[in-house]
Amino acid sequence: MKRIEMPGFIKPQLATLRSKAPSGLQWIHEVKYDGYRVQLHLDRGKAKAFTRNGLNWTKRFSVIAGAFDISGQAIIDGEVVVVHEGRTNFSELQAELARGEQDRLLYYAFDLLWLDGQDLRKTPQLERKAMLQGLFDTYQLEPPVLFSEHVTGDGQQLFERAAKLNYEGIISKRADAPYRSERGEAWLKVKTVQREKFPIVGFVKDPTGVAALYLGKQQGKELVYMGKVGTGWNRTTSAQIRKALDTVVSPKAKLTKPMRKPKATWVEPKFFADVEYRDITSEGLLRASSFKGLSRK
């Protein structure tokens, strides 16, 4: 291969959402990490870290960038995470960065786009991962940088294991595919979700129904605020929810700790929202929530 000049930021390859993982020897499968996508550019002792949108976050991730102590050039694709209670946790990562700290940050490297003057983007996926593993082995790289392991074949089995462990999901990749800076079918993501019923403590009106529902949760004798949900219904369902909640309107919130929500219409917690959500933030609020149904207490 002809040696060429090292490029700047490379637009990342993105995965397409699917409801079921593929199977077959042409696929490899990795755990989906709940963190920040970060592209590392290493050039003879100098390092830069870019977000998925090309922002230079080298200062924020200087410890990780410095941990890739290699003598040559490389562009590595991966995810910065914080592991909390046995799994990657986006809320804990946000809190760590907000404090300006890096002690808990880990970097899972899952792709190699460039190595010592060679553009590897046309090289098959499995070969790129083998070269990335070789880079880790050659330089004996250690945490906070880690090689993202994969399995071949039955992705659904890995997905079911990931779901039991409350991981975000898995990424399935065509073993023979090149790296393309786009969202396509060569990378597929299958997400796990959590589902629970929460008492509705209030709502925001719209002309014919509801714009959002405020949710609570009973914790011992306290009814605590869990955030809001604003997606998952059509116009008809929205009107039905509004009709039900209008029957239990309350002059004040029934939450143990009062809250100021200027647009809120408070209700007695007689109805429950069945909600799918991705996670609970460090502030104790639902993340990426979606309404699935309404039931009466």
Name the band, by pLDDT with cuts 50, 70 and 90, for residue 8: very high
Place of tokens 């116009």: 235
14-191 CATH: 3.30.470.30
Q: Which helix (H) or strand (E) holds 175?
A: none
Nearest to 158 by CA among 173, 145, 143, 146: 173
- Sort residue 278 into left (φ over 0), alpha (ψ -120 to 50) or beta: alpha
Q: What is the pLDDT of residue 86?
A: 86
Question: Rounded distance, CA 18 to CA 34, Å?
Answer: 17
Residue pair 197/274 in contact by the 8 Å Cβ criterion: yes
Instruction: Identify the DSSP state of 5.
Output: P
| Residues 163-186: tens digit of each pLDDT | 888 788 999 999 999 999 999 999
| Residues 53-62: tens digit of each pLDDT | 999 999 999 9
Longest dimension (CA), the chain: 74
Q: What is the pLDDT of residue 3?
A: 62
| Average pLDDT over every residue of 219-233 | 95
Question: Average pLDDT over the chain, rounded to whole?
Answer: 93
Q: Where are the alpha helices (DSSP H) in the chain?
A: 62-67, 90-98, 125-139, 155-164, 235-245
| Average pLDDT over every residue of 33-37 | 93
Greater confidence (159 vs 90) lies with: 159
CA atoms within 13 A of residue 33's CA, in its CB half-sphere: 24
Question: Rounded distance, CA 270 to CA 272, Å?
Answer: 7
pLDDT surpassing 70 at residue 2: no
Q: What is the pLDDT of residue 216?
A: 97
Q: What is the pLDDT of residue 104?
A: 96
Q: What is the pLDDT of residue 46?
A: 94
Strand, coil or helix: what is 144?
Answer: coil
pLDDT surpassing 80 at residue 297: no
pLDDT surpassing 80 at residue 1: no
pLDDT surpassing 60 at residue 294: yes
Question: Rounded distance, CA 43 to CA 73, Å?
Answer: 4
| Residues 233-267: tens digit of each pLDDT | 989 999 999 999 999 999 999 999 988 899 999 99
Please list, in sequence order, all residues whose beta carbon lies within 8 angstroms of the beta carbon of residue 81, skipping any fewer than 6 positions away: 33, 34, 35, 36, 88, 89, 93, 105, 106, 107, 108
Give me the catalytic one of 2, 11, 20, 32. Answer: 32
Asked: is 194-296 a CATH 2.40.50.140 domain? The reply is yes
Greater confidence (284 vs 40) lies with: 40
Active site residue 32: yes
In the chain, where the domains are located? 14-191, 194-296
| Residues 75-123: tens digit of each pLDDT | 999 999 999 888 888 878 988 998 999 999 999 999 999 999 999 999 9
| Average pLDDT over every residue of 115-144 | 97
Question: Rounded distance, CA 36 to CA 89, Å?
Answer: 11
Tell me the chain's radius of gyration from C-alpha atoms.
23
